[in-house]
Amino acid sequence: MLRFWPIWVLLLGGLFYWGLQRPDKSELKSVLVGKPAPSFSLPLLAPYRAQYGAEMGIREGLGKPVLLNIWASWCIPCRSEAPLLERFHQQYKDQVLILGVNVQDSEAEALKFVQEYGLTFPSVYDARGRIGIEYGYYGVPETFVIDRHGVVLARHAGELSEAQLRGYIEQVLR
Amino acid sequence: MRMKRAITWWVGGLLLLAWALAQPSPNTPPPDFSPEVFRIAGQLRCPVCQGESAAESNAGIAVEMRRIIAEQLAQGKSEAEIRAFFVERYGDWILYEPPARGLTLWVWLSPLLGLGLLGFGLWRYLARVRARALTAASEVSEEEMARLEAELQSPERQP
């Protein structure tokens, strides 16, 4: 057996190399990709009710691609993501709906966050976190890219960079 | 007197032990849900935690998962159906004991495979050692054997 040591070294080395090349193990593929996005309707945070009504969510007949962004006011990456989302909302609001879902949070803190960053894209408040479970989320921020037919195209776990966000928007507008 | 003191110590020690055993274990479920809910939740990961089950965690999502389990139990759903509900949303990742198929099958098989390989290696090694011992015995020349036999004879018998 030991006569073949170069083969063993190669095998073991290959295994290590393969392990290193694998995508981030903490990144979880969503089982929702390619499936219809679960529909829901949740109360909007107060500042958006005048424009969008009392409740909002994913339902049939939205006719627009959606970026569903799950966030919380205590989440640090959400803080750097919020201005970026706002900027893209200003630019694409006629073509893409950016919808925030506030989870694991208190409504008062969420409102403070919205005010601090001057967010004009609508956010709903999920007090119990049930929508998070429906979508299989495992942390904030997390963004689901939903095409205009209501099918989930991608799930992005963690902070979005500008390039990534632009990529997703181009993907849904194609 | 000494006897009495020893007995006091023994009784004291036993009491202390009984008291320690009587403490509720730290993982007993809070009384809001039935133990059945916690038993099922214990098989599921808390998605936002590291290495905690949905039964142990107090994160909002884990509490909500327990609530969902309790609701579905009340609706008469079976344990398998409840597990399937979470697998549908999270994939097999949510299960602490993933089903033995595909890549996870290897996780189950590799210890057996390892044991088998170890056994095979050991068997090969022992066979080689035995073979070496046998050849070593047969390689001794007649002359040397005779000399050894002679040397093993007790000195009294020697002329």
A158: left (phi over 0), alpha (psi -120 to 50) or beta: left
Residue B102, pLDDT score: 77
Instruction: State which residue of chain B sits closest to A140, comparing Cα positions.
Output: B48
The two tokens of residue A41 are 């309707």
For A25-64, what is each residue's pLDDT tens digit?
Answer: 556 678 888 899 999 999 999 999 999 989 999 988 788 8
- Map out the domains of chain A as residue ranges: 24-173
Residue B12, pLDDT score: 75
- Interchain pair A104, B90: CB under 8 A: no
For A79-98, what is each residue's pLDDT tens digit?
Answer: 999 999 999 999 998 999 99
pLDDT(A9) > 70:
yes
In the DSSP assignment, the letter for residue A48 is G
- Interchain pair B88, A31: CB under 8 A: yes
CATH (one of 3.40.30.10, 3.40.50.1010, 2.60.450.10, 2.60.40.10) for A24-173: 3.40.30.10
CATH code of residue B78: 1.10.8.640
The two tokens of residue A129 are 């976190």
Does the pTM exceed 0.80? no
Q: Which amino acid, residue A25?
A: K
Q: Which domain holds residue B21?
A: 2-94
Is the domain of B109 the same as that of B46? no
**CA–CA separation, B71 and B65 (whole Å):** 10
Taking the Cβ of residue B157 and every Cβ of chain A, the question of whether any pair is shorter than 8 Å is answered with no
Measured between CB atoms, which of B48, B91, B121 is closest to A139?
A: B48
What ipTM does this complex have?
A: 0.78
pLDDT by 10s per residue, chain B, length 159 = 566 777 777 877 777 777 666 655 555 555 578 899 999 999 999 988 888 999 999 888 899 999 999 999 999 999 999 999 999 999 888 998 878 777 778 888 899 999 999 999 999 999 999 988 888 777 778 888 888 888 888 666 555
Is the domain of B8 the same as that of B63? yes
Is the domain of B42 the same as that of B117? no
Is the domain of B39 the same as that of B64? yes
Residue B23, pLDDT score: 55
Other CB atoms within a 10 A radius of the CB of residue B64 amount to 21
